[in-house]
Structure 1
Amino acid sequence: MQGLNFHRGQDAGRPAPVRHAPARPAPSQQPRPVRKDPAPSRLAYRLNRMMLRPLVRRLVHVGLPAFLAALVAGIWLSDDTRRAHLTGGLDALVDRVQNRDEFLVKMMTIEGASPVVDKGLRAMLPVELPASSFDIDLEKLRERVLKLDAVEAVDLRIKPGGVLSAVVTERVPALLWRHARGIELLDKTGHRVASVTSREVRGDLPIISGEGADRAAAEALALIDAAGPILPRLRGLERMGERRWDVVLDRGQRIKLPENGALPALERAIAIDRAQHMLDRDLSVVDLRQQQRPVVQLGLEAQNAIRRARGQPELGPDGKAIAAETAKKTSGNGKKKSG
């Protein structure tokens, strides 16, 4: 082919030039450095093993920094001047936040309370309005309000607009309780509502008397409800020995009820009265304490009528027999007055 010129001649068999390899360096006469053992020391091994424990890691990562921070803070706060400045700054910051308009209570509204309770509740506020809502502890205020005898429940809330709302539920008087210290109003549970000076203040309420009568107010109300037919004659209930009731009627009559089963006993007495007009007779006491043996006690006039029929001396109001001469004088004086 044109362009390719192969020359074959006497130079074709000449060998390629020889290249001499570089000589190897002579071995160094200096000693080789000793290689470091990659295995850890005993101390490093033990420290690594300790760091694998969760408790040690927490102490190193959390406990130690916290201790150092507390140490620095303690050293810084050991100075009285720095501590006073810090306290004053925090107090000023808290006051600025608490006294913002969003947290101010400007007025108080009370619903369902009588004028006396309303006045007492407003007097129990720990601060004068307007005041910060942070200065009014609603739980403590609720506990103080519930200590009022006339208050059964109260709902305290701070409404938007800075209004402290109090919804009061007062106790409803159901009984008058006469005892050695005076007369008090009780609700249906026997809780004290208020004190009164006389029975005429609440003449519409039934009256009970005796020590411990307030603790049995619920039973007393049940007895009063059951005494419907004789209710116009009922004067009250008297607690005897803090364990049972006596029903007191007009004309000095009294029904003694048992300690247990007082309500059924009163219902039986009312049934007998409706059938036989027992209470219309001259009886002073109807004793129902023993269910199998009811006992009645005659009045003074009935007893004297029987004693006159038997020829016995009459009895006086004290229950003692009157001498015959005194009885004649009394009857003679009665004749002179009538004449």
Structure 2
Amino acid sequence: MLPVRAAQPRRDPAPSRLRYRLTRLWLRPAFRRLVNLGVPLAAVLLASWTLLAQFDLQARAVALYEKARDAIVEQPQFTITAIEVPDVSADLAEQIKIAAFVNLPASSLEVSVAAVRSRIESLDAVERARVQIRSNGVLEIRAIERMPVVVWRSEKGIQLLDQNGIRVAEVDSRLRRPDLPLIAGDGADGHVPEALLLLDDAHPVLGRVRGLVRVGERRWDLVLDRGQTIRLPETGASEALRRVMALEAGEELLERDLVTVDMRDPRRPMLRLTEHAVSELERLRRMDMGEDA
């Protein structure tokens, strides 16, 4: 009698989970294109890079590119041979040429117009600038120059300011611009329009005006020759000064022996006399008292 064989376990025909996922992935067209094209391309790039590195072909390619670039850049039609700065003062034109930082001859392909304009507009004396490269090889720079209207004396030195109080230039002496009015004191640069208005109100005595002094960063003193000062209030300074000018026109107030006209309280103007005037007034009072006695 033959021995009975043990039953063999049946093999499961279903694929494993990993094989199933790989099969599903391979069925995607995008994945097949990536494998069929990407892998060979990566292999070609890797082999090419290795070959370039081995024979130093990369450096040769860079050198060839630089040579071709230089050949284009150095073409005469791209060469800047001059810089023109029309319609500004000679001193500012020289400053602008230095600030442009363009070494001639230069290639227009290597000059950044925006960068040149930015450097020029950083100058104190330039409000705005326009830069263009003309076809005749000229770099034209047109600048709007800030015009100084006052001289400002402060602890920082002596500076020229425009009508908005923006610094135009620094000078070593007030005598550099005797044609401009003088303002002084901390914070005076922030009130240039008001100072110009006050100087306009003081037109009847403008020839005697020595300057405006900002006091405590709050108000102005108008300083005249002969040591006279008109103290103006914090608010309504223009109206107070016009009252003084009216008194000057009608009574010749500022022709008298006065040191100070104090208008800080417009309701109670105060006058301070010179020492000579005070002494003379006391002498007259004593004479009157003697006569009365």
**Superposed pair shares fold, TM > 0.5:** yes
For 2:237 and 2:115, the matched residues in 1 are separated by 42
Q: Pairwise CA RMSD of aligned residues?
A: 3.2
Of the three residues 130, 136, 143, the one matched with 1:168 is 143
1:43-122 matched pairs, under 5 angstroms: 46-47=24-25, 51=29, 71=46, 75=50, 78-79=53-54, 81-122=56-97
Task: Give the counterpart letter for 2:59 in structure 1.
Answer: A
Q: Any conservation in 1 of the 2:152–2:183 contact (CA below 8 Å)?
A: yes
1:51 to partner: Cα distance: 5.0
Q: 2:104 aligns with which of 105, 129, 132?
A: 129
In structure 2, the gaps of 5 or more residues are 1-18, 287-293
Structure 1: distance between partners of 2:199 and 2:211: 9
Q: 1:122 to 1:45 in 2, by over 3 A?
A: same
Deviations 1:214-254 (A, max 9, x none): 22222111111121222222121111122221101122111
- Structure 1 runs of 4+ aligned residues shifted over 4 Å read 41-45, 48-52, 56-80
Aligned in 2, Cα 1:127/1:42: closer, same or farther, shift over 3 Å? same
Question: 1:126 touches 1:136 (CA, 8 Å); kept in 2?
Answer: no
> Which SS does the other structure have where 2:277 is aligned?
helix
Q: Which residue of 1 aligns with 2:249?
A: 274
The 3 A distance-change label for structure 1 pair 241 and 60 is farther
Give runs of aligned pairs for residues 282-321 of structure 1, distance below 5 A: 282-309=257-284
Greater Cα radius of gyration, structure 1 or 2: 1
Code of the residue aligned with 2:24 in structure 1: it is R
The letter for the 2-side match of 1:159 is: R
- Cα distance in structure 2, aligned partners of 1:66 and 1:306: 110
Paired positions, count? 268
Identity of aligned residues (%): 39
CA contact (8 A) 1:127 1:135 kept: no
Q: 1:44 to 1:224 in 2, by over 3 A?
A: same
In the superposition, the TM-score normalised over structure 1's length comes to 0.67
SS in 1 for 2:123: coil
Q: Which has the higher contact order (CA 8 A, sep 6+)?
A: 2
Deviation at 1:85, TM superposition (A): 1.5
**Match in the other structure for 2:290:** none
Q: Deviations for 1:279-305, whole angstroms, at most 9, x for unmatched residues?
A: 233221122222333322222222223
Report how far residue 62 of structure 1 moved: 9.5
In the superposition, relative to structure 1, how do residues 120 and 48 fare at CA in structure 2: closer, same or farther (>3 Å)?
same
Whole-angstrom distance in 1 between the partners of 2:36 and 2:197: 73
State how far apart, in whole Å, the 1-side matches of 2:213 and 2:33 are.
74
- One-letter code of the match for 2:78? F
CA distance in 1, matches of 2:270, 2:43: 91
**In structure 2, do the counterparts of structure 1 residues 61 and 48 end up closer, same or farther at CA, with 3 Å as the change threshold?**
closer
Deviation at 1:72, TM superposition (A): 5.6
- Are the aligned partners of 2:184 and 2:213 in contact in 1 as well (CA < 8 Å)? yes
Distance 1:197 1:48, change over 3 A: closer
SS state of the match for residue 168, structure 1?
strand
Give the TM-score taking structure 2 as reference length.
0.76
